Amino acid sequence: MANPPSSNPFFTNADVRGTCTWQFGNDIPGNTRNFGRNAQYGSLLPLTYLRFGGGGSTNVRFNDFRNVISNPC
């Protein structure tokens, strides 16, 4: 499994004035859940693309991540 660089922003969840709020960014004051920081991105996701001019042939690229996070709100 490969994770993105530690400088990438990640989701957090906090109680803001009594409301469950999703936030995006690193080290936001008051966050209560960080969902594993960069581990929340999950594993690399293989994506299949058609090759331009390839007569219907495809190319698999690993340029995205996939992870499903349960909504705690």
- What is the predicted pLDDT for the residue at 58? 96
pTM of the predicted protein model? 0.56
Asked if residue 73 belongs to a domain, the reply is no
Does 37 map to a domain?
yes
User: What pLDDT band is residue 21 in, cutting at 50, 70 and 90?
Assistant: confident
- The answer to the question of residue 1 being in a domain is no
Kindly tell me if the per-residue pLDDT of 13 is higher than 90: no
H/E element holding 49? strand 43-50
With respect to residue 53, please indicate whether it lies within any of the assigned structural domains. Answer: yes
Average pLDDT over residues 51-64: 90
* Six-digit token string for 27: 């080290």
59 domain-assigned = yes
The answer on pLDDT for 44 being more than 60 is yes
- Residue 53 CA, distance from chain mean position: 32
